[in-house]
Amino acid sequence: MLLQSKTRIMLKILVCAQLLMLTTDLCAEEEIDPDLQIHGFIAQGIVKADGSNFVNDDGELSIELTEVGLNGSYQLTSSVRLTGQVTYLEGGNRYNDGIRIDYALLDWSVYHTDNWQINLYAGRFKNYHWLYSGTRNVPFTRPSIILPQSMYHDGFRDTALGGNGGDLKISYSSDTSGNFDFNLSSGAIPLSKAQTQLVFSELALGRLKHLDGLQTSLYWQPAFSSWRFGLAFLDTSFEYVAAEEGDIFLDATLKLQHSTVNALYEGEKWEFAVEAFQGRINLKGFYLDSYHQEKPGQGYYAQFRYKIENSLTLLARYEKYYADKEDKNGQNLQQTTGGLVPSYFGYQHDITLGFSYDIAEAFRLQFEYHNFEGVARLTPVAAPNVALNNSKHWNLWAIQLMYWF
């Protein structure tokens, strides 16, 4: 175990060194090729969650807070571009570790004028619809190390990240009415056995398949305004195919619907963001052939950031999440499970305080402290560990150093 940990640390150092060498090479390059762009990021942190298995089962200090990415973009013709990003992530119990293709796209600029820009993207696209979803695994673009779990549930991270298919983006810019951005994407993401077990626990021997997903959003920024407003809608369905032997679960279908509203204010010193959602989870089968459960979930957060100076930003966030908005205190959950699942598994509220400090250009240190009440956003999503999460109140702190180029 210790050897494995040391090997992992050595591997991380090696990857970081390689990326830094690549950066140096890129910076040393004098010739500018406007058609080719290469960028990347490296981040390593430490995290500790007291009173829950959000990060790890033993609650000890963890270095499983690694995010590395490398992307490239090449302009094939004046209107067609090829782009892709590979990431390596480690997040403990939050999501599956390993290398993955984050996005791989053929970008076709279909129509463009001074005011209109229409693009079609084909391949593996990302979820461009929520405030931080497009770059949720890029540390320096996030307001915090751990994003608000009501909206950005790490347990569903891979399924919410994007899909294989197509995306249409229409942007309109007007001097009088402002900027409009419309996005429509459709596709599905292949899920591994490990990702299946992150949702349904290790007892699930079958495979979860993402059948289809449709997402759309509309953003509006009034002309010359610091405000931006958005609406987003998601409709997606999954199928669980039980293993032929030894699987205690049965075939099932899972449908998710998710409506979101958000607002963002970015002033010179102050920033304010609010995002609220209402969702519906519909599960048929799985436990029994006749089993049918429908839960209307609800959540929101309000986030403030203040720039003391250009390099130092403070963060404060207040968040509420209810797994079932008709059972906000979780009493019904506790009763229907005969007391096996405590009521605090029905919600998860969070107060976050933190700061980020830019040590140098493209080099940042971020710290945050979370105080949680409830454990409704843990993994495995469908069967969280009741024995390990025996506390209604728990907290987490994390510190992460990040570099990008």
CA distance 375 to 347: 6
CA distance 254 to 303: 31
- CB-nearer residue toward other proteins: 79 or 293: 79
**CA nearest neighbour of 195 among 66, 381, 346, 377:** 381
| Shortest distance in whole angstroms from residue 171 CB to other proteins | 6
- CB-nearer residue toward other proteins: 29 or 212: 29
CA distance 323 to 281: 9
Q: Which two tokens stand for residue 153?
A: 């549930």
For residues 111, 113, 114 and 116, what is the CA-based torsion angle, rounded to 10 degrees?
Answer: -40
- CB-nearer residue toward other proteins: 117 or 395: 117
CA distance 148 to 231: 18
Q: Which long-range contacts (CB under 8 A, 24 or more apart) does 190-198 make?
A: 190/164, 191/158, 191/159, 192/96, 194/96, 195/96, 195/158, 195/159, 196/240, 197/380, 198/95, 198/96, 198/155, 198/158, 198/379, 198/380, 198/381
Strands 349-360 and 270-285, sheet pairing: unpaired
| Shortest distance in whole angstroms from residue 9 CB to other proteins | 26
Q: What is the DSSP letter of 34?
A: T
- CB-nearer residue toward other proteins: 3 or 32: 32
- CB-nearer residue toward other proteins: 126 or 153: 126
- CB-nearer residue toward other proteins: 9 or 36: 36
Q: Is 332 helix (H, G, I), strand (E, B) or coil?
A: helix
Beta bridge mates, 104: 84, 124
- CB-nearer residue toward other proteins: 6 or 112: 112
| Shortest distance in whole angstroms from residue 125 CB to other proteins | 7
CA distance 172 to 401: 37
CB burial readout 14-32, b (16+ within 10 A) else e: eebeebeeebeeeeeeeee
| Shortest distance in whole angstroms from residue 262 CB to other proteins | 15
| Shortest distance in whole angstroms from residue 19 CB to other proteins | 14
Q: Is 371 helix (H, G, I), strand (E, B) or coil?
A: strand
The answer to whether 249 and 258 are in contact (CB under 8 A) is no
Tell me how far CA of residue 305 lies from CA of 142, 236, 265, 268, 351, in angstroms: 12, 33, 10, 11, 14
| Shortest distance in whole angstroms from residue 181 CB to other proteins | 9
| Shortest distance in whole angstroms from residue 238 CB to other proteins | 24
| Shortest distance in whole angstroms from residue 351 CB to other proteins | 25
**CA nearest neighbour of 295 among 330, 342, 252:** 330
CA distance 197 to 200: 5
For residues 76, 137, 123 and 93, what is the CA-based torsion angle, rounded to 10 degrees?
Answer: 150
- CB-nearer residue toward other proteins: 38 or 353: 38
- CB-nearer residue toward other proteins: 166 or 296: 166
- CB-nearer residue toward other proteins: 48 or 355: 355
| Shortest distance in whole angstroms from residue 115 CB to other proteins | 8
| Shortest distance in whole angstroms from residue 30 CB to other proteins | 9
Provide the binding-site residues for other proteins, judged by CB under 8 A. 32, 34, 37, 39, 41, 69, 71, 73, 75, 78, 81, 83-85, 102-103, 105, 107, 109, 112, 114-115, 117, 119, 121, 125-126, 128, 134-135, 138, 140-141, 169, 171, 173, 175, 179, 224, 266-268, 307, 310, 361, 404
